[in-house]
Structures are given as C-alpha cells and as structure tokens.
Amino acid sequence: MQKRTDHNKQAFSDYFSANEKIEIERALEIIEKIPEDLDFDHPKGIDVAAILREYDVDFITILAAILSDPRLPQLYPPPNIKALFGDTIATLVKDVNWLNKLTVYSPQMTTKPNEVETLRRMLLSMTQDVRAVLIKLAYRIQRLRDLPKESYEIRKFISQETLDIYAPIANRLGIHQFKWELEDLAFRYLEPQTYRQIAKSLANNRLQRESCINGFIALLQNHLDGEKISSKCYGRPKHIYSIWKKMHRKQLNIEQLYDLLAVRVIVDNLTNCYTVLGIVHSLWQYIPKEFDDYIANPKENGYQSLHTVILDSQGNRIEVQIRTQDMHDYAELGIAAHWSYKEGGKHSLAMEKSVTTLRKLLEEKQGDEKLTDDFRSELFNDRVYVLTPAGKLIDLVKGSTPLDFAYAVHTQIGHRCRGAKINGKIVPLTYALKSGEQIEILTTKEAAPNHNWINPNLGYLKSSRAISRVKNWFRNQQQTENIARGKAILDKESKRLGLKTLNFVDMLHYFKQPNSDVLFEAIGRSDINSRQLAGYLKIPELEVVKTNVQPNASPAKSVVTVAGIDNVQTTFAHCCSPVVGDDIIGYISHHKGITVHHKNCKNITHLSIEKQPQLISVAWGDKKASHAVPIVIHAFNTQNLLTNVSQILAQSKIHILNATLNTDPDFSATLHLTIQVENTVQLSQILTKISCAPNIIDVIRKT
C-alpha cells in the first residue's frame, strides 16, 4: 500500500503547485488508513484520480476523486471532509458517492427510451457541481477495466447500463475520449465475438491508426501554413463500437467503410473551406463518389461541412471534414449536435446552452462557480426527478409536492392520498420535492380529496394535471349526487300522480335535454323545479310519443327517419358519432328513446341476443344538419400544430367545438378535436387536407 501511494504522490507532484501537493498528500494519508479488503471489487479513488489526471483536469476534481473512495466509510470515525478540505470538496464527494450508490437502472429500460432519458437527466440534475459527473464517468471507466474478474451476469449488466446511461452522458457533455472508451469496453463485454472480429479485421492496431492520422495532419498542416491559411487540424481513428454501429446501420462489412480514419479541419471563413478542399485533392488521391458538399446542400437538420475521402501513400482511407468555426459550433451545439441526432433525442435551447457551459467549465483549470450555477439554472430549473418505493423514476415540474407525485403515479393514488414519507420520514403534503428523493404515499381505502388541495394559496398541488384531476373528482361527485337526487324526485312525483310508466323520449324533448342523466341532474339541482315537473306529468297525452310539430304547422322534416316516419325524436350516439352518409341503425332505449348508431359501432356489433330485438331501421332524411365528430391528429411536434390545423378548418368553414393538445415526453403531440361537418364526404375531404399539413403523422376519425 505504501509503495503504491508513494508512486501516486510522485505522479501528481509534477502537475500541481506546492500548496496543492500538500492537499493531495493529506488526502492520500487518509486513504492509507483504509484497511485492506481483498474482496473489494469496486474502483478505488486513487485509481480514478489517475484516469482523470490523464485528461488535464483541475486540482479540485483530482482531490474529490481521491476522497470519494467507496472504502472510506470503513474508517472509524469517518473523516470530516468539510472540515478538512472545505465546502466545495465536501459537496463534490457527497455527489460522487450518491452517483456511485444509485441503483435505479434496470436492463428493461433499454426498450423504454423515455425512462432512460429521464434517468440521464436525473443524474445530471442531482449534482451540485458538474465535475461530480466527470468523476463518476471515470469511476465507470475503471469499473469496466476491472470487469474481467466479475461474473457474466455482472459484466452484462454493467456494460448495458454503460451504453444506455453513461456513454450518452459523456457524449452529451462533449467528453469524447470518455465516450469512446466507455462504448468500446462495454461493447467488448456484451458482444465479445463481434468485438474480436472487428478488432482483427482492422489492418493496424489503434496506435498505428493514430500514428497514421498524426502523420496526415502534420503534412496537411504544413501545406496550409505555407499557404497562410489559418486553420486547426485534428482527428482520431474510429473506435470499434462506432465501427460496428455504422456497419450495422448501413449493412456493410468493414472493408466497405470509408471513414475508419477521420480528420477535421476548422478554418476561419467559407472561402477557405473550398481552398483547403482543393489542397487536399491536389496532395492525395480522392474517391469521387465519397465527396459530399453539405455546405451548398445542408442536411435537413442544418448540418454544414465538406466531406471527402482520400487515400494516403500507404493506401489508408482517410475521411476529411472541412468546416468553419461557426459550422462546427452549430454541428456540436445546435440542433445538429452529435448527441442530438446520434442518440435520437430531441434538442432544446436550454440543453444547447448547457452543453456550452459544461465544456467551458471543464476547460477552466480552477473551475468557475458562475458557470456551474448557469448549467443548473439553464437545464434543470423546471424539473425534479424522484423515485417510487420500487425505484421507478418520476419526472415532475419543479416545486411539485408529494400530492403531485401521487397523482403522477395514478389518479386513484392521488384521490386516496392521506400522507407521505420521504426517504422513510413523514413529511407534510405541501413539502417541495427534491431530485433523488424516494417517496412513499400513505393511502386510505376510499377516495376523498380535500377542497384545500385546489386552493392555489395553500401549496398542496403544483401540477395543472393533478389540479384538474381533483376538480373533476368534485365535479363528478356533485353530478352523481344530483343524478341520484333527480331520479328520486321524479320517482316520488310519478308515484304521487299514479303513473306506472314514463315516456322518456318525449320528456327529453319537452325539457330540451340530450339524455336521461342530464335530465336527472337538472331535476336534482332544481334547474327543473317541482312545479315544472308536475305540470308536465299531468299532461293527459303522456303515453303518446310527442313530436316537434307546432300547432297549425305542417310537419317538419327531421335529419333521421324511423320506420319511414320523419318526425320522430332521435338522438345521436356519442360512442360512434354518426355523420350523414354513414350506414346507421336505431336502438330503442328505455331511458333515452331512439339512439342512432353507426352500424359498425362496437356497442351495436357486440349487442347481446336479448337486446337485439330493440334495434330498429332508421335512415337519413332530407333535412340538412351538422354533426359533431371527434378526430385525433398525431404529429411529430407541437410547433404551430394547432395554428396550422385551425387555419385549414377555417378555410374550409369547419367549426371547432373543442380542442385538447397533449405533448409526449419525446416532444411528439396528439391533438384531439371535435369538429362540425355535414356529411362523410365533407369529413373525408377535411381529413385529407389536414394530413398534408407539416409534421402530421396521421389523422383519424375517433370511433
């Protein structure tokens, strides 16, 4: 132990100042006190610090990496990191320890990209200092390096978690060296045979390939300097995992890939892009069919660059990318950012700004508190990530409470919520949740929301969705009570007058109500009072089906005829919303009169044998009418969706009765509309027009 520690002291001595060396030595002295544990199979802080040292990180990051050694809790008493090294180091160590202990990931997440993305964001949001993520990535690299001594199951789990969570995070932060090593090591354990085949197929080993790249860059840079072209050339050989991904995606073998070696040239203006291209083509033989001018013809995501493939003197194929700094910044940080289109994620301005902030922070030797604050405020100012008792991640709006969490899990959990525990401790329902906390909801058997929950001044609920659920519960409760009360009033009045049966079709028409529940509700809340009800029930012709015929008026034509009669009161079924032109059939209901359905309505096709005699032939009449038809529109994103659809409907003189827009976590959208149309021909025409609008996936009539 002493030899190894002395070796590490010497490794750091040429890198840090005198005062920093003293701090490093103090940290190493603490580590020396840890008992040797032959069964310990996790990375040690000193090994992780050595990895980070290779990447020229700052002193604070190195010190925190050493002191976040997972064996440190074995010391008794444990060292007071805050007292010994200050707040910044203590906070970093705390964050790294939390990240190292996190056990939320499961292999099933691989098929659930939304859950994987939520976990990535939670890992970033939970850290007070982004350098904790950097240290965690180094811990994961060391963990992968030590995997050969682990069981097959552990190797597979750690490797898959790396590809799903940690490599994309390294990519997103622009730490490409970490990304490449994480991917290659994980792929090596997940697909060892394929890994070996690709490695064997490569003509040179990695060092030889890097040597090839360096030689190419030196020669090219020399010519560019001679032409007085301000430029920056750099490159890297493709790594095995990226080679496999491209082979898999393009269905090519390794000999058919033209970009195993890649060089990027950054120049200061557009003209020099083409000047450099001419120099490259004059110095080396190029492959014409592999030339792409993405400057004149940018990719759909806005990406711009010149791509060409040349053959060097040894016959190595080298891809050369030439672009300006602005083009490069856009490719790295804009919507064409590597993490955005390679991971299949959706970009956001906040994320673009945050990637810039993170990279600046990593380049600052002494760190920058303002940059760290900018990172957190830009990216995570509106979200909080918490866990269920089973370890499932829940993504909530910032400021959410345990009650918001309960409704996010399930509406009934919210309705039955009576208390909550955070990390095992009882908290009030108004408690503001923090990322990483585990919440357990205490419930009762019966749903019983409190009116205080929807009072904005009391702070019980932050989510508009949860507030809406509570309001709907109270509305439904009141509606149910009024319906029951209305039924009782009507029953009592009918018995008082000695009426054995009631003609509900006629009653609905008389009181101008669409269905029996609405009628009962109106009676229950006294919109239809006892005097009005008694006046109707005393009408002698009660048993006769009344029509909408006025005295001394000729019969009016109706939209639907029943058994050839065109003045019978009917209602349209909400389950299938039939439109003029649809094949229809009537159903005689004891409570709602004759209801008109589409012949293919599932409520008709699944009708029991006992109820089939209640079907009656109906047909469309001569009277014109408008029908409320629900439609569903799926789109790639919400941008201008409602505006574009509304304009199409307005131009076609189609009225919108209601609209609901839902946005999914992947930024796709679902728009529910109810529109007024006259017939199926008009409906078909408008659905076709909407389907041609930008970003529309499909448009369907809801049945």
Contact residues for 298 (Cβ-Cβ < 8 A; gap 6+): 304
Query: Rounded distance, CA 602 to CA 126, Å?
Result: 49
Query: Rounded distance, CA 383 to CA 375, Å?
Result: 14
Fold exhibited by the domain 627-701 = Alpha-Beta Plaits (3.30.70)
Q: For residue 498, is it left (φ>0), alpha (ψ between -120 and 50) or beta?
A: left
Query: Rounded distance, CA 190 to CA 45, Å?
Result: 26
Q: Which residues of 468-491 are buried (b: 16+ CB within 10 A; e: fewer)?
A: ebbeebeeeeebeebbebbbebbe
* Residue 632 host element (H or E): strand 627-635
Judge: domain 2-343, CATH 1.10.3210.10: yes
Query: Rounded distance, CA 401 to CA 452, Å?
Result: 14
Secondary structure E strands in 49-140? none
Query: Residue range 235-247: average pLDDT?
Result: 78
Nearest-CA neighbor of 576 among 601, 608, 556?
A: 601
Task: Band the pLDDT of 316: cuts 50, 70, 90.
Answer: confident
Indicate whether 455 pLDDT > 90.
no
Residue 255 CA: distances (Å) to CA of 191, 235, 252, 284, 286: 20, 21, 8, 20, 17
So what's the pLDDT on residue 2?
45
Query: Residue range 420-433: average pLDDT?
Result: 92
Quickly count: other Cβ atoms within 10 Å of residue 218's Cβ: 10
Query: Residue range 551-567: average pLDDT?
Result: 53
Query: Residue range 523-532: average pLDDT?
Result: 79
Looking at per-residue confidence, does 432 or 508 come out higher? 432
So what's the pLDDT on residue 568?
65
User: Which pLDDT tens digit goes with each residue over 575-624?
Assistant: 888 888 788 888 877 556 688 888 888 888 888 887 887 888 888 876 66
Q: Domain extents for the chain?
A: 2-343, 349-380, 383-462, 474-543, 560-620, 627-701
Contact residues for 321 (Cβ-Cβ < 8 A; gap 6+): 262, 263, 264, 265, 305, 306, 307
Query: Residue range 73-91: average pLDDT?
Result: 87
So what's the pLDDT on residue 102?
77
Query: Residue range 83-98: average pLDDT?
Result: 89
Query: Residue range 482-490: average pLDDT?
Result: 86
4-13, 72-81, 413-422, 446-455: the lowest-pLDDT one: 4-13
Amino acid at 178: F
So what's the pLDDT on residue 385?
81
So what's the pLDDT on residue 365?
45
Indicate whether 336 pLDDT > 50.
no
- What the block records as the tokens of 457 is 């001044």
- What the block records as the tokens of 460 is 């019980």
CA contacts within 13 A on the Cβ side of 272: 16
Bridge partner list, 597: 585
Query: Rounded distance, CA 435 to CA 499, Å?
Result: 64
User: Which pLDDT tens digit goes with each residue over 144-173?
Assistant: 998 888 888 989 999 998 988 888 888 777
Indicate whether 204 pLDDT > 60.
no
Query: Rounded distance, CA 354 to CA 467, Å?
Result: 32
Nearest-CA neighbor of 569 among 543, 588, 542?
A: 588
Indicate whether 345 pLDDT > 80.
no
So what's the pLDDT on residue 174?
62
Question: What mean pLDDT, rounded, does the chain reach?
Answer: 78
C-beta of residue 636 within 8 angstroms of C-beta of residue 697: yes
So what's the pLDDT on residue 451?
85
Contact residues for 168 (Cβ-Cβ < 8 A; gap 6+): 120, 339, 343
Indicate whether 638 pLDDT > 90.
no
Indicate whether 344 pLDDT > 70.
no
By the 10 Å C-beta count (0-12 exposed, 13-18 middle, 19+ buried), 70 is classed as middle
User: Which pLDDT tens digit goes with each residue over 373-412?
Assistant: 444 444 445 678 888 888 777 888 888 999 999 999 999 9
* Residue 88 host element (H or E): helix 87-101
Bridge partner list, 439: 422
CATH of 383-462, one of 3.90.220.20, 3.10.20.30, 2.30.40.10, 3.90.1300.10: 3.10.20.30
So what's the pLDDT on residue 259?
56
Pairing relationship of beta strands 656-663 and 669-677 according to DSSP bridges: antiparallel
So what's the pLDDT on residue 236?
66
Query: Residue range 560-566: average pLDDT?
Result: 64
Query: Rounded distance, CA 261 to CA 209, Å?
Result: 7
Indicate whether 246 pLDDT > 90.
no
Query: Residue range 457-462: average pLDDT?
Result: 89
Query: Rounded distance, CA 170 to CA 156, Å?
Result: 20
Query: Residue range 407-435: average pLDDT?
Result: 91
Task: Band the pLDDT of 564: cuts 50, 70, 90.
Answer: low
So what's the pLDDT on residue 460?
92
What pTM was estimated for this model as a whole? 0.52
So what's the pLDDT on residue 551?
35
So what's the pLDDT on residue 550?
35
